[in-house]
Amino acid sequence: MPFWIDDPADLSARLGNPPAWVGLDTEFVRERTYWPQLALVQMAIGDDILLIDPLAPGIADALRPLLADPSVLKVMHSASEDLVALSHDCGVLPAPLFDTQIAAALCGIGGGMGYQRLVQEITGVALAKGETRSDWLRRPLSDSQLEYAADDVVHLGAIYRELDARLQASNRRDWLDQDCARMLANATEEGERWPHLSMRSAQFLDADAQIRLLRLLRWRDVQARSSDKPRSWILDNELATALARTPPADRAALQALLEAHPKAPRKLGDAVWQALIQPLPDEAAAPLARNASTEEKNGLRRLQDAVAARSAELGRSRAPKHPSAGHKALGLTLMLQPGKQSFSRRNRRTSAEAASRPLERLVRFPAREGRPEIRAVPGGTRVRHERQLFSSRLRSTTSLWSDDYRSTS
């Protein structure tokens, strides 16, 4: 039976002697705001399940000490958005972190696995899906909402113990610690440095237009944060791309365009104009988005296939019918030359060298004690490598670092 907690004194008493780890999850709403509105915090602590109401006064203050306690491991699943919600509401990040989604991938169970599927894989329990899109800000919550919320943490203990044992046995626990530390660091970043790379339309713009788009997107992000409104409410992608592609000749021309557009920020015309024409201090270093060539895509597939084969050999992942056809296996992300767009949407990297070579000439896989090895061509760029979970879409991947494959120059 879960306990509903909306009294800070009650919460502080229950968290007074925390165990070595707690299971943690959140429910939040992010439909009309930039920042997630924390609506519920679920915690498995010892034998108890706590459903904590963050809307109650004083709850965030009572929760903060445990979240910040370095002696208490926080077990969460796919925690990236939960981290932002907790950090914004409570002012601290739940560290140290054990993310069960990443752990499952490192154990070879599957990459990007959802919580319900992982629970069934580890415990055999099939969870209901009924309240996924529920209104978590309403009070009181329904019985089905409370049951759903409790289920999100009640099995974290069993999953944690199983995955931790597997990671320890395979000497991969350090990998998880590194990945979770990186996830925590990412949660504190104030927006993407190069947000234009996340827009597919950017690859069809020339260099000057991409820089203008970068300026607009940077301004939009600052405006969205300060006003706590969704980015699209400030300036939608379509209008931002249009302004970057064909900039208005002057302020009056911009206003005419804004007046004609149904979703334009008409009252922010002066700010949009300044964002459009004012250079950024670091824009000269901005990488340009581009569409990968067939040659580069084929090169990436060869990398996927080679690493998928090695992954299957090590028992890290289930062998696919065809490794490069949507196989979620351990893969690689490369540092590309300036002007070349990485295949990972969330983890783009660029190199400092200016050499421009086709991907398949940039790296190779010489066998060495049964291990494929990556090598940069002489005079070219050093290849940076990551363990990576490839999805069927090259632009939607989750990166994980590893020392298992080594690059040499």
**Looking at the predicted structure, is the pLDDT value of residue 134 above 80?**
yes
Better-predicted residue by pLDDT, 257 or 304 = 257
Both 40 and 170 in one domain: the answer is yes
Residue 359 has pLDDT above 80, yes or no: no
Radius of gyration of the chain (CA): 24
Supply the pLDDT for residue 202: 95
Higher pLDDT, 369 or 204: 204
Residues 275 and 302 in one domain: no
Find the angle CA(323)-CA(330)-CA(75) to the nearest 5 degrees.
Answer: 135
Give the pLDDT band (50/70/90) at residue 130.
low
Of the candidates 64, 46, 41, 59, the residue with the CA atom closest to the CA atom of residue 141:
41
Are 201 and 140 contained in the same domain?
A: no
Predicted confidence at residue 378, as pLDDT, reads 31
Range scoring the smallest mean pLDDT among 101-115, 209-223, 370-384: 370-384
Determine if the peptide bond prior to 279 is cis (ω within 30°). Answer: no
CATH of the domain at 247: 1.10.150
This prediction's pTM: 0.74
The DSSP line for 232-258 is: HHHS-HHHHHHHHHS--SSHHHHHHHH
User: What pLDDT score was predicted for residue 72?
Assistant: 98
Mean pLDDT is highest, among 99-113, 229-243, 327-341, for 229-243
Residue 24: alpha-carbon gap to chain centroid: 18
Residues 6+ apart with CB under 8 A from 378: 409
Point out the domain boundary residue: 187, 211, 227. 187
Q: For residue 305, what pLDDT is reported?
A: 87
pLDDT per position as a tens digit, 208-221:
999 999 999 999 99
Q: Are both 324 and 220 inside the same structural domain?
A: no
Residues 39 and 139 reside in one and the same domain: yes
Structural domain ending residue among the three candidates 148, 170, 187 = 187
What is the rounded average pLDDT for all residues in the chain?
A: 80
- The CA–CA distances, whole Å, from 301 to 106, 285, 306 equal 21, 29, 9
Cis peptide before 140 (omega within 30 of 0): yes
Residue 28 has pLDDT above 60, yes or no: yes
pLDDT for the residue 381: 29
Give percent of the chain above pLDDT 70: 75
Helix (H, G, I), strand (E, B) or coil at 124: coil
| Model confidence pLDDT, tens digit, residues 269-295 | 999 999 999 999 999 999 999 888 899
CA dihedral 303, 304, 310, 314 (to 10 degrees): 150
Which of 285, 302, 320 terminates a domain? The answer is 285
Q: Are residues 78 and 145 in the same domain?
A: yes
Catalytic residue, chosen from 53, 89, 151, 152, is 152
CATH number at residue 51: 3.30.420.10
The whole-angstrom separation of Cα 256 and Cα 309 is: 57
Q: Is the pLDDT of residue 6 over 50?
A: yes
Mean of pLDDT values over 56-81: 98
Neighbouring CB atoms inside 10 A of 117's CB total: 14
Same domain, 327 and 390: yes
Checking if the pLDDT of 393 tops 90, the result is no
Do 174 and 93 belong to one domain?
A: yes
Residue 374 has pLDDT above 70, yes or no: no
Strand extents, DSSP E, 303-368? 330-331, 367-368
Q: How far apart are CA 333 and CA 108, in angstroms?
A: 19
Three-state secondary structure call for residue 388: strand
Q: Report the share of the chain in percent with pLDDT over 90.
A: 66
pLDDT of residue 67: 98
Position 263 scores a pLDDT of 85
Domain count, the chain: 3
Is the model's pLDDT at 373 over the cut of 80? no
Q: Is 405 a catalytic residue?
A: no
Out of 27, 89, 99, 305, which one is annotated catalytic? 27
398 falls in which pLDDT band (50, 70, 90)? very low
Strand, coil or helix: 121: helix
In which domain, by residue range, is 220 found? Answer: 195-285
Claim to verify: residue 94 and residue 147 sit in the same structural domain:
yes
My answer on whether 362 and 391 are in the same domain is: yes
Point out the catalytic residue in the list 34, 53, 82, 162. 82
The pLDDT value given to residue 111: 84
Is pLDDT above 50 for 21?
Answer: yes
Q: Is 270 a catalytic residue?
A: no
- Per DSSP, 266 falls in state G
- Are 115 and 136 contained in the same domain? yes
Answer yes or no: 221 catalytic.
no
- What angle do helix axes 156-169 and 143-154 make, rounded to 10 degrees? 20
Per annotation, catalytic residue among 148, 162, 179, 296: 148
Q: What is the pLDDT of residues 292-343, one digit of tens each?
A: 889 988 998 999 888 777 766 765 444 333 333 333 333 333 333 333 333 3
Token representation of residue 309: 């084969």
Residues 149 and 46 grouped into a single domain = yes
Cα distance between residue 61 and residue 129, in whole Å: 32
25 is known as an active-site residue: yes
Is pLDDT larger for residue 242 or for residue 133? 242
Q: Residue 129 has what pLDDT?
A: 75
